[in-house]
Structure 1
Amino acid sequence: MASTNANPLSAKLTKLLSSSLDDAKLRTSLSALSDFYAVNAVNSRHNLRGDIERRGTEVNYEFLRELEKVNIQFLELEEEMNSMNSLCQEMQDRLNLANEKTATLLEQTDALREQSNICMVRQTIMEAFLDRFTLSESEITILCSTAMDVTPSFFDALEHLENIHADCNALLITEHQRAGLEIMDSMRTYRSISYDKLYRWMQSECRTMSRPDGMMEVREVTKKAIQALKQDDPFFRSILEELVHVRRNAILRAFIDALTRGGPGGTPRPIELHAHDPLRYIGDMLAWLHQTVASEREFLESLLNSERRTRDRGQTEVKLPKASPLRLVESDVSDADIVDSLLDKNLEGTSRPLKSRVEQVLISQANAITAFKISNLIKFYLTTIERAIGPEASLSKTLHEIAESSMQVFFEAVGKKSADLLRRPDVPAADLGPTPSMKETVSQLKEIMKSFDTSFVQIDEGNQDFAPILSAVIDPLFQMCEIGAANLSAFNRAVYMMNCLHYVQSALVYPFTKHKVESLEKQVQEYVDIVVDEQHMVLLKQSGIAPLIQAMETKDDKTPLSQVPSMDSTSVSAVLSRLDHFLGSVNLDLTSWLSKIVSSRLAKAISTQNVKLFVDAYRRLCEEIEDPKNKYEFPATILVRTADEVEMLLVED
């Protein structure tokens, strides 16, 4: 084994055999050696080392030759760079010389540039100043030329003029007061001319607003003209007066046409064709005015760009103040206040023809029910229209006057009817029921209450407003009943009055009659008490115990009841022995007495009170007989019936 390791050839063979053919370096080496020889000969293998060294030497020589070429190029490049460096130095020298020569020029250029910037700033300031404080030629032409119509561009120029006029106030508190005064003076001239032009244009525009329906479409340029004229109080007031003149005449003319001529082509028909029907005639006139109020308000709000005012009932109107040096838009008067004032004045002309025609109808009206319905109709439209134009408006005051006139006619008719009833009062019939005159009057009252209930009057106001009406109708009616029943007995008079009161009371079924019903109930109760007292005395007499009760109530406290004349045991027993017969017939007597009472409720209440009073009286009598101090012997033999037994018999009957 040692000999094998010592043999170089064996070692090399072992190394070669153990080498892997997949080694990349080995394969590369073999590939390079394959280019050395075309034939694998023995000489070639023996000279392999020398050939490899020779080849390495040749490669090194070739590398040197190439480096020599590179060196030559570097030398050429060095010469060129030296040449360029010389040129750059020459240019630098020339630039330094040029800089020295142009330094003064640059200083002058910088100074001129700075002056140019200052001039540009001044130019910008001047342009801004002129734009803010002067009008252009086109704007002056638009504002001052009478040949040019008022268009949206007019209001743009006018707004510019107003802004200039306002901005001049800022100049007056600076060192430029003279400029501010001069500009204000020139703007004042242009402003006067432009507002005069706008005023005259608006005058002609107002003359075109003569359509009576108030539903004309307001142009946007007209709205702007109105808003612009607010800046000049006198012009604005003059335009409002012109507008009122045109609109008032148009509405009055339309109202007269609606009364006498009707609508276009006869539709709708003239209102005065229904003059024979008072309710429809007055209702048509008021309905026309209500519609006109609504359409006119809509027209004015559109014209003035005003929002709708929500007005509570009773709210007072704000009147347009007198002219002042302050601008209207800066005063306390709002557009809504101006609309209210214009609406009042525009409708003012309709008050007189409305009032005269309503008064003619009322003069010829003798029917109280019709007069009351007319009054309710007027009050309904008064409430509705008053909320739109305010209570201080002329039309509202006229409606108040004709409403009061209609109520006066109603009360006069009621008073005349009441006077006739009192002059010729009805005599009560045998049944003591309501008389025909009462039934007729209550029937009319029912119709009046029904009309009032459907008149859209609030309940609280109804209680207050309807109370005088109830008093005017009902109070004379009961006076007639009292006069007619003067010759009756107290019992029959009470029954008759109770029946009349109940008949009237049963008709008062509406909430606004609640207080009167309560008042009548008290009067009914007074007559009920009279009937109960009268009947109680009759029952005591029929039962025979009236003398006993009278003796018991009038005796001296120190004297025993048995010692009072006719109150001994024998006399009392004789009276009480007839009590059973009375108790058997008393129900029939009560029925006959109460049959004339119309109200079953009242009849039952009276019967119950009579039984209670009789039982209470008999109970007191029993207690006195049983009381030892009255010295009755064997009181149980005297009392045929106990108080409880008497009460039981009467209640069962």
Structure 2
Amino acid sequence: MSWYDDPLKDWYGDQLEEAPADQPPPAYQKDDGAAGGPKSDQRTKGKINKEDVTAINEGGMSPARSREKERGSGDCRMKKRRGRWILHTFCWHNRSNQRPERRREMGTTSALAPGLSRKLKKVLETRTDTPDLLASLNTLSTFYTDNTTPARRNLRSTIEKRSLSINHDFLLASDAAQQALDRVEEEVNSLAECCDKIAKSLSNCNATTGDIITTTERLKQELEVTTQRQEIASCFLRDYQLSNEEISALREEELNENFFKALNHVQTIHANCKVLLRTHHQRAGLELMDMMAVYQEGAYERLCRWVQTECRRLGDTDNPEVSELLKMAVRCLKERPVLFKYCAEEVANMRHNALFRRFISALTRGGPGGMPRPIEVHAHDPLRYVGDMLGWLHQALASERELVFVLLNPDAVVDTGPTARRFSKSSESNDEKDEADLTFVLDRIFEGVCRPFKVRVEQVLQSQPNLIISYKLSNTLEFYSYTVSDLLGRETALCNTLWGLKDAAQKTFFDILKVRGEKLLRYPPLVAVDLSPPPALKEGVSLLLELIQIHDTMMVPASGKKPVFDPVISALLDPIIQICEQAMEAHKSKGSIESSRRNRTKADASQSRRSSVDAILASSSQVFPSKNNETASKIFIINCLCEIQQPLLRHDVAAEYVKKLGTMIENHMASLVEKEVDAILTRCGLSNKMSLFRNSTAADSPPLADMEDTSPDSLSESLKAFFGLILGSESSLPEFEQMNLPGLRSEACVHVATSLAEAYDVIYKAIMDPNNGYADPKSLARHPPDQIRTILGI
């Protein structure tokens, strides 16, 4: 709300009197004589209320002033506070006249005109503390400085002049902007006129050049159509026709990269013609296919002749290098299997002849300048001679294999290491057809060296090398057979030759073993007096140990394994065991021989425990010798088997044969113990009675005392002899002193003692059995079985 619209402006203009600027307007006062006195009157102070403001706006006296005037008391004056003029009213009330004054006031209010009442109501409803009203009063304070009566009366005109002054200043300030806007308007009008002129000119031009534009658009469309047709024709010529340069490269020029580019383009055109055959342009497709077929066949024939010429040059050098152009040519020829086969055969023939010449030269002349020396210089050394030939073939195979790979299958991965498999089977680029082609070429290349190599190895084998050399030759040939098979393939001429020579060397080795065994069997050795193994056995075991060492250190290919060694052991040891058995049988048939005993300087615990039976054995030695021929034969064969078994225990390769020898030794030991026990019981007269003692527990068996063989008298004599053998002072039990192994000797003695104790246990139980009818069994069996066991030391 502006200052000049404020409802209080009329009141200020009509009611305020002039006053100094630093003093408030004069208050409206009544004569003090009308005052009611200090005690009867009360002075109040407050601001202008709504009724006063309404009355002032209507141009009359405010109700408060009227009441003050009627009561003859009170005062109303203006006061300046904080730069603003504030109306203060001071009233003195007369209590005795209060009610009549209120009635008069109410009557005065009700008597107002409707228009004045509305204005008064409007003034009363106006808020005097609003920000707009306060701002108006603040603005009034800026230019209303003189508080005089004329100033108060001319407040409205002052405010209006203030407003006019402000508007005039605004007009002056905006004059420059208005002038600028006028200039802009003039420029805009000028531009509008120019635009109208240009539009008019364009309209005239459109009217005059319409035909030209139409013609230009038509020609532009025709040009686009023609350009598209030209592009289509160019694409067709590019995709279905050869350029003059390409035709020249296929027919006339030297073979180079342009030839292969042109050939590739011919193949592409030929493939594109198949697309035409599936459309409405079948005639054009057939004609183009026929034309491209002529170009293609001529190019492939020319390429095949060029490759054959280049392959012939490869046979002139030992280590040829394959050019990239030749690799590209071979790669292209793979599209024509027949032509590719011709080239592969040409390569195989050239390298076949070159390899044969190189092999013969290595055998007879050696390397350039005589180094390395010729292989046949070492023909006197079969192992080195054959090994050098095999090494040369293996090296040649690796180089030829790499050459064939690079030439015939340039996309393949070549692996020449020891773990290589045939044609790098792990490579995904190799298929079965490529493998067959490469196998064919390599087989043809090495076919020529098979015969000279085979003849020379057979000559070595026919020269009857010794057993060790023949075995080493067999192992060497087997190793290279596996190695070459991994690189070349099993069903090739060179591999078949190697495997055949390996079998021949192995046959030669076993033939030598067979001849050696037959010679031993024709002249079996005699049993030595001390029952020690024959020299032929020791020689055979020494030879076997050397063969085992060779077997353990032999080379083993990655795809193979060591050969089974059991046939070698059997072929070498079986004849030796047979001659030992023949010597044992011959020794049995000769009759009784005296056996000598060796006096031991130191007696061990086992000898001391057997000293109690020495006297009995000595007294009976004239009737029954301690060791007959059969016992000596058994000890001899046991010594021979142990002599073979002991050195073989340290070698795993002979584990099975060691088990076989152990079983044979156990069988001979059991037979030896059984014979010795039976001989002792026979000497005591108890051997024929043991069956009666064992059957005495049967229900239908008669009492043993009633039988003649087991009568008390006969049994008493036999037991006395038995006790005499056991309790004698001299050694009566066999001690197997001629058995070479102390462990086996002790084991045999323990087994004899155990068997005797078991036999006495059977006799003792039968004597003590009441059913057998012995009157005084304790007089017959004076020693219980435990005592006999203690005496025997078990």
Band of TM-score, shorter chain: 0.7 to 0.9
Deviations 1:147-173 (A, max 9, x none): 42333x432332222122222222222
Does the C-alpha gap of structure 1 residues 590 and 372 become closer, same or farther in structure 2, counting only changes over 3 Å? farther
Structure 1 or 2: more helix by fraction: 1
Per-residue deviation, 1:81:
7.7
Q: Which residue in 2 is equivalent to 1:222?
A: 326
Q: For 1:186-237, what per-residue CA distance to the aligned partner results, in whole angstroms no more than 9, with x for missing partners?
A: 21222123222322222232123237755x4433222222111101122211
**2:712–2:780 contact (8 Å) kept in structure 1:** yes
- Secondary structure at the residue paired with 1:208? helix
Query: 1:121 Cα shift?
Result: 1.9
The alignment partner of 2:587 has SS state of coil
1:584-623 CA-partner distances (Å, limit 9, x unpaired): 459945554x222233343333333222221111111111
- Indicate whether 1:572 and 2:715 are aligned: yes
What's the counterpart of residue 48 of structure 1? Answer: none
Relative to structure 2, which stretch is displaced further, 404-413 or 80-89? Answer: 80-89
Displacement, 1:402?
Answer: 1.0
Work out whether residues 584 and 634 of structure 2, in 8 Å CA contact, stay in contact via their aligned partners in 1: no
Residue in 2 that maps onto 1:94 = 204
Q: Distance in 2 between matches of 1:234 and 1:86?
A: 86
Equivalent pair of 1:316/1:390 in contact (CA under 8 Å):
yes
Note if contact 2:681-2:722 (Cα within 8 Å) is conserved in structure 1: no
Distance in 1 between residues matched to 2:178 and 2:692, nearest whole Å: 177
Q: Which amino acid aligns with 2:662?
A: E
1:613 pairs with 2:613: no
CA distance 1:211–1:605, change in 2 (3 Å) = farther
Instruction: Note the C-alpha offset of 1:59.
Output: 9.4
1:247 matches 2:351: yes
Residue 427 (structure 1) aligns with:
526
Q: 1:158 aligns with which of 263, 268, 274?
A: 263
Q: Deviation at 1:139?
A: 2.2
The code of the aligned residue for 2:207 comes to L
Match of 2:470 among 366, 371, 378: 371
| Among 529, 534, 542, the residue aligned to 2:675 | 534
Equivalent position SS for 1:546? coil
Against the structure 1 CA distance between its residues 626 and 360, is the aligned structure 2 distance closer, same or farther, given a 3 Å change threshold?
same
Matches within 5 A, 1:133-144: 133-144=240-251
Question: How big is the shift at 1:366?
Answer: 4.3
Q: How many residues align?
A: 611
Cα 1:336–1:596 change in 2 (3 A) is: same
Contact 2:401 2:442 in 1 (8 A): yes
User: Which amino acid in the other structure matches residue 777 of structure 2?
Assistant: P
1:48-74 Cα deviation digits (max 9, x unpaired): xxxx99x99999999999999999989
Question: What aligned pairs does 1:97-112 form with structure 2 within 5 A after superposition?
Answer: 97-98=207-208, 101-102=210-211, 105-112=212-219
Letter in 2 for 1:610: V
How far does the alpha carbon of each residue in 1:61-116 deviate from its partner, in whole angstroms, 9 at most, with x for none?
A: 999999999999899879968965874575365246336x52xx544433333332
Match of 1:335 in 2: 434
- Which deviates more, 81-90 or 217-226? 81-90
Confirm whether residue 167 of structure 1 aligns to residue 177 of structure 2.
no
Instruction: Name the aligned partner's letter for residue 517 of structure 1.
Output: V
Supply the distance in 2 between the matched residues of 1:566 and 1:369 (Cα, whole angstroms).
Answer: 64
Shift of 1:7: 7.6
The answer for unaligned runs of 5 or more in structure 2 is: 1-14, 26-79, 84-137, 144-161, 589-629
Matched residues, percent identical? Answer: 31
Q: Which amino acid aligns with 2:413?
A: E
Q: Tell which deviates more after alignment, 453-462 or 353-362.
A: 453-462
Distance (whole Å) between structure 2 residues aligned to residue 312 and residue 458 of structure 1: 8
Contact 2:695-2:701 at 8 Å conserved across structures? no
Tell me which of 504, 507, 524 is aligned to 2:644.
504
Counterpart in the other structure of 1:8? 18
Distance 1:604 1:18, change over 3 A: same
Contact kept? 1:576, 1:640, Cα under 8 Å: no
Give the partner amino acid of 1:502: C
Residue 361 of structure 1: CA displacement? 0.9
The residue type paired with residue 507 of structure 2 is Q
Is the CA contact 1:150–1:198 (under 8 Å) kept in the aligned structure 2?
no
Match of 1:231 among 330, 335, 338: 335
1:517 counterpart = 2:658: yes
Partner of 1:44: none
1:123 to 210, 225, 230: 230
- Aligned position for 1:559: 702
Is the 8 Å Cα contact of residues 513 and 572 (structure 2) preserved in structure 1? yes
2:771 to 622, 629, 632: 629
Structure 2: how far apart are the matches of 1:68 and 1:566?
171
- Tell me how far apart the structure 1 counterparts of residues 503 and 167 of structure 2 sit (CA, whole Å): 145
1:382 CA drift (Å): 1.1
1:206–1:634 Cα change, 3 Å: same
Equivalent position amino acid for 1:408 in 2: K
Moved more, 531-540 or 510-519: 510-519
Deviates more, 1:608-617 or 1:299-308: 299-308
Residues 451 and 624 from structure 1, CA distance in 2 versus in 1: closer, same or farther, beyond 3 angstroms?
same
C-alpha displacement at 1:349, in angstroms? 1.5
Instruction: Give 1:12 deviation, angstroms.
Output: 5.9
SS at match of 1:487: helix
Q: Does 1:184 align with 2:284?
A: no
Whole-Å separation in 2 of the counterparts to 1:168 and 1:191: 14
The amino acid of 1:174's aligned partner reads T
Pairwise mapping of residues 106-505 of structure 1 onto structure 2 (< 5 A)? Answer: 106-145=213-252, 147-151=253-257, 153-210=258-315, 214=319, 216-303=320-407, 304=409, 305-308=411-414, 333-456=432-555, 465-489=564-588, 490-505=630-645
Deviates more, 1:421-430 or 1:205-214: 205-214
Conserved in 2, the CA contact under 8 Å of 1:573 and 1:638?
Answer: yes
SS at match of 1:149: coil
1:260/1:271 contact within 8 Å kept:
yes
Counterpart for residue 38 of structure 1: none
Q: Structure 1 stretches of 5 or more lacking a match?
A: 30-51, 319-328
Once residues 62 and 460 of structure 1 are traced to their aligned partners in structure 2, the CA distance between those partners, rounded to angstroms, is 114
Against the structure 1 CA distance between its residues 138 and 88, is the aligned structure 2 distance closer, same or farther, given a 3 Å change threshold?
A: closer
Deviations 1:263-295 (A, max 9, x none): 222222221111111111111111111222222
Q: Contact 1:311/1:387 (CA < 8 Å) preserved in 2?
A: no
Offset from partner CA, 1:527-548 (integer Å, 9 cap, x none) = 2232122111122234553354
Aligned-partner Cα distance in 2 for 1:238–1:330: 23
Please list the CA deviations of residues 103-142 of structure 1 after superposition, one character each: whole Å capped at 9, or x if unmatched: xx54443333333222222222222222122222222222
When residues 179 and 257 of structure 1 are mapped into structure 2, their CA distance, relative to the original with a 3 A threshold, is: same
541-550 or 62-71: bigger deviation: 62-71
Assess if the C-alpha contact under 8 Å between 1:372 and 1:410 holds in 2.
Answer: yes
Question: Alpha-carbon deviation of 1:376?
Answer: 1.3
Query: How far is the alpha carbon of 1:395 from its aligned partner?
Result: 0.8
Q: Distance in 2 between matches of 1:582 and 1:595?
A: 19
Q: How much is the aligned-residue C-alpha RMSD, in angstroms?
A: 4.4
Which amino acid in the other structure matches residue 256 of structure 2? V
Q: 2-side partners of 1:440 and 1:499: how far apart?
A: 15
Deviations 1:508-528 (A, max 9, x none): 444343333333333333322
Q: Which has the larger radius of gyration?
A: 2
User: 1:258 & 1:607 partners in 2: Cα distance?
Assistant: 69
Give the TM-score, by structure 1 length: 0.81
1:583 aligns with 2:722: no
Q: Is the 8 A contact 1:309 1:336 kept in 2?
A: no
Cα offset for 1:492? 2.5
CA 1:220–1:649: 2 relative to 1, 3 Å:
farther
Please tell me the residue identity of whatever aligns with 1:609. Answer: H
Hey, what does 1:49 align to over in structure 2?
none
Distance 1:365 1:458 in 2: 27
Distance 1:71 1:514 in 2: 124
Aligned to 1:37: none
